[in-house]
Chain A
Amino acid sequence: MSVEDHNELGFWRKYIFSTDHKVIGVQYALTSFFFLLVGFSLVLMMRWQLAYPGQPMPFEFLSKIFPAGLPGGVMVPEFYNSLGAMHGTIMVFLGIVPLAFGAFGNFVVPLQIGAPDMAFPKLNAASYWAFFLGGIVMLISFWVPGGAANSGWTSYPPLANIATTGQTWWLCGMVLLITSSLLGSVNFIATIIQLRAKGMTYMRLPFFVWAQLVTAFLLLLAFPPLEAAGVMQLMDRLFDTSFFMPSGLIVSGEAVDVSGGGSPLLWQHLFWFLAHPEVYVLILPGMGIVAEVIANNTRKPLWGYKSLVYSVLFLGFLSFFVWAHHMYMTGMGTVISAFFQTTTMIISVPSVIILTCLFISLWGGSIRFNTPMLFALGFLPMFGIGGLTGLPLGFNATDLYLHDTYYVIGHFHYVVAPGTIFALFAGVYYWFPKVTGKMMNEMLGKIHFWASMIFMNGVFMPMFIQGLGGVNRRLYDGGLQYAQNEPVLHWNVFMTTSAICLGFAQIPFLINLIATLCKKKRVESDNPWEATTLEWATPTPPPHGNFLTEPVIYRGPYEYSVPGAKKDFTPQFEPDEESK
């Protein structure tokens, strides 16, 4: 396909109902950033309640937006539970996954493999619009009677089965979001396998593409069980089936009128069969971005590219065999828990290898500390803390104490918040000049990084202290009820203050974004970072159809500082005679 095949389109076809992977990628990015902001606002309200239980919110307009949840500005327990459930749901399914997979995957993968577009452009658009609708359904659910879903993002029945209408909306929203991810994942798999340019063998794929390929397989194989489980729960709620309802339930002194005979544990198995691979869906694209940025800014090849690839494949495969480590407290016996503890420890090995390869890649480099690199470097220790604190949770004996405490919240937030989100910011700063043709401001970028780094740790580090002190998660009053929590509760004010400051720390980013878009000065080169991968071979920004001539690949993805070469980077797309 050549460029001439791509006619100029009108505004609606070009920017709104586009089938161009780059436009869809940007749509995904804008929508998911909006939802990240929503998810963050929800948690700020929660954090206010945790630090100052029962005190009215500082802003009066909030009680106008949520009259039922914040009467007179004071939060009611139902609303706290809704915020908890929706913060998790929105951050995972509407924020991180669409940003990491939908936005970065869509924009970068076809460019990096030398494809003119995704394999199924219309499917791609359908995937975005299903996601968009799912998001709308989730947002509307805040104002249905009883408020949004309030049974945790995990939606364990029977609680979720007997919950208010918001749960039905949640399930419908989830069905749309899952559909979106499934459409996206088949498209990615087909694209990466079928549309690689001439010479782009599997072992020449940038690590980012490998990470996205494994992510796509995880989504494809893990989501269908949850989609089935979601429909089953929907039927339990709407048509009085009893998939998850046991016999003889008595709620508030009244017998529940269902046929019974179902199993609440079945839901947990189906849910975690998705939700553990989902953890890797959240982290792998981030690791991919970090690998790209580190190779580029150390000016040397990634250390152990093959180990990275095999590790990520192994990680993906094994992530389907660890789900029940979320269920140690359900009454699991020695033998079954021994199995899941063993698989959990085995899966930590490829994660350690990936992190080690990225650390060792720094050795011998000529390191440039620009904003994308700072975020990528920040990812490493933060993900390290998240990974290490997973150890005591992976053994059932130590999980016994830590299960359902703030230690767990601290652990997975270190993986996803200062972990994945830092990686995603690295990606934003790194690819911004390719997407828009303009370079973001370094000074504002650095302020953004250091402020975020400090306050992220201010929010999440004390969670380990509280968790070890025996403070449980999901408590409306933050644990005030329990006398034994008293010694560590004062951290709530510290964490809330840090969370508010973390919000302010994003202002330099917003200013940077808007100011950069407004400025006239464009990047002079199509390859401003002097990178080796294929996306930098396109014009800036890439036109519909991407490449001016059909790209040919001559070498591996990270040929930096090749001995004997003229310059310190030898792009994949440069013929041998040019680089010598």
Chain B
Amino acid sequence: MNELMLKWLAMLAPAAEGAAQLDKMMSLIHWLMLVLGVGWSIFFVWALIRFRQKKNPKANYYGVQHKGSTYIEIGVIVAEAILLVGFAFPIWAKVVDSFPPKEGALKINIVAEQFAWNFQYPGEDGIFGKKDAKFIDRENPLGLDPEDPNGKDDIITLNQMTIPNNKPVVCYLSSKDVIHNFGVYQFRVKQDATPGMTIPLWFEPTKEGSYEVVCSQLCGIGHYRMRGFVNVVSDKKFEEWKQEQLEEANNDDGW
């Protein structure tokens, strides 16, 4: 049943921990919608045919006498209550709100701006370099403090986020200018990036590949092309990539 509905819905294939739970709920709701829609439609068409004026010239003042509709309404209420308590609350609490333990997770700062995604990795020391708006210029889009030793080994990338497979990632999302939204459909992740706030989000990819980051909040004339990529690679490839980036960061005397 579940698979059948998901096949009909044809959503983008999930590639993260917890996505299956969200998809199961999506399938259940659409089954409920289908049952209600088909039921109502049958009643509707039947009533129109049976009670057309030609067939039924004299209307019945009292109409339906039994309480069948009350049971249907109670049924809808029960179904919604089950979806709420049994699915929506626990899924949100688990998939969105329960962050993985800090030690095991890869931490990344995401800074959105018109119309690009900046990613900041803390480097070998695991500590993000301090940032301040006053340091922002073309060479230093995030405003890293050049005096801060923790920032020396930070990796900064533009529109490309590379992460290892099967490892939880905790992102700290913020924006420099207007509201953006970090959306990755395959991870079932969508989170507003609101200026003035830093909002955490997490996910754990389960499938290697390259996934598109879609800005999901109107952010200006370039909104439609504010695209990024999340590249999910093997542990080995991730380490190689990281070393490459670290060398680059160390050779760069800019900060």
Q: Identify which of B37, B48, B177 gathers the most chain A CB atoms within 10 Å of its CB.
A: B177
Q: A152-B218, A364-B63, A468-B11 known; A568 and B133 CB under 8 Å? A: no
B64 touches A364 (CB 8 A): yes
**Looking across the interface, which residue of chain B has its beta carbon closest to that of A151?**
B218
Does B149 interact with chain A (Cβ within 8 Å)?
no
Instruction: Tell me how many residues of B have a C-beta within 8 Å of chain A.
Output: 87
B13 closest partner in A (C-beta): A484
Binds B, one of A229-237, A299-307, A520-528: A299-307
Find A330's partner among B88, B137, B192 (CB 8 Å cutoff).
Answer: B192
* Minimum C-beta distance from A240 to chain B (A): 17
Quick one: which of B76, B188, B222 has the most chain A CB within 10 A? B76
Given the known inter-chain contacts A349-B77, A362-B44, A484-B212, please indicate yes or no for A398 contacting B22, CB distance below 8 A.
yes
The answer to whether the Cβ of B105 comes within 8 Å of any Cβ in the partner chain is: no
Residue A221 lies at the interface, judged by CB distance under 8 Å to chain B: no
Given contacts A401-B185, A403-B190, 7 further A-B contacts (CB under 8 A): A331-B199, A334-B97, A364-B59, A395-B84, A400-B22, A404-B183, A470-B11
Cross-chain pairs A/B with CB under 8 angstroms, 5 sampled: A246-B197, A330-B194, A367-B56, A392-B29, A474-B223
Interface size on A, residues (CB 8 A): 96
A233 to B36, CA, bound (A): 43
Residue ranges of B at the interface with A (Cβ–Cβ < 8 Å):
9-12, 21-22, 25-26, 29-30, 32-33, 36-37, 40-41, 43-44, 47-48, 51-53, 56-64, 69, 72-73, 76-77, 80-81, 83-84, 87-89, 91-93, 95-97, 113-114, 133, 136-138, 176-179, 181, 183, 185, 188-192, 194-197, 199, 212, 214-225, 227
Determine the distance from Cα of A300 to Cα of B72 in the docked complex, in whole angstroms.
23
B26 and A401 contacting across the interface, CB-CB below 8 Å: yes
Q: Which of B22, B114, B194, B218 has the most chain A CB within a 10 Å cutoff?
A: B218
Q: How far is the CA of A392 from the CA of B29 in the complex (A)?
A: 6
With A253-B136, A345-B80, A481-B224 given, is the CB distance from A392 to B30 under 8 Å? yes
Q: Is the CB of A356 within 8 A of B72?
A: yes
Shortest beta-carbon distance, B243 to chain A, in Å?
A: 29
A514 an interface residue at 8 Å Cβ cutoff? no
| A388-B37, A481-B225 known; A364+B62 contact, CB < 8 A | yes
Q: Is A333 an interface residue (CB 8 A)?
A: yes
**Knowing A253-B138, A395-B88, A468-B10 touch, does A380 contact B195 (C-beta < 8 A)?**
no
Q: Residue A530 at the B interface, CB < 8 A?
A: no
CB of B174 to closest CB in A, whole Å: 10
Interface presence of A81 (CB below 8 A): yes
Q: Is the CB of A352 within 8 A of B12?
A: no
Contact between B179 and A476, CB atoms less than 8 A apart: no
- Structural contact, B93 and A477, CB atoms closer than 8 A: no
Taking A331-B197, A359-B47 as contacts, is the C-beta distance between A159 and B220 under 8 angstroms? yes
- In the assembled complex, the Cα of A159 lies from the Cα of B190 at a distance in Å of 19
Residues of A at under 8 Å CB distance from B?
A: 76-78, 81, 84, 150-152, 156, 158-159, 162, 246-253, 255, 260, 263-265, 298-301, 303, 329-331, 333-334, 337-338, 341-342, 345, 348-349, 352-353, 355-357, 359-369, 377, 380-381, 384-385, 388-389, 391-392, 395-398, 400-401, 403-404, 465, 468-470, 472, 474-477, 479, 481-484, 487-488, 560-563, 568
Q: How far is the CA of A265 from the CA of B175 in the complex (A)?
A: 14
**How far apart are the CA atoms of A345 and B79 in the complex, in Å?**
10
Contacts A158-B177, A300-B60, A362-B44 given; indicate if A368 touches B53 (C-beta within 8 A).
Answer: yes
Q: How far is the CA of A348 from the CA of B179 in the complex (A)?
A: 30
With known contacts A162-B178, A353-B73, A397-B91, A329–B192 Cβ distance under 8 A: yes
A474: B residues at CB distance < 8 A: 218, 223-224
A360 closest partner in B (C-beta): B64
Q: What's the Cα separation between A385 and B32 when bound, in Å?
A: 12
Chain B residues within an 8 Å CB radius of A301: 61, 63
Contact B69 A369 (CB under 8 A): no
Whether the pair B51, A81 counts as a contact (CB closer than 8 A) is no
B221–A77 touching, CB < 8 Å = yes
**Min CB gap B7→A, angstroms:** 11
Cα distance, A483 to B51, chains bound together (Å):
51
Contact of A380 with B44 in the complex, beta carbons under 8 Å: yes
A369 proximity list for chain B (CB < 8 A):
52-53
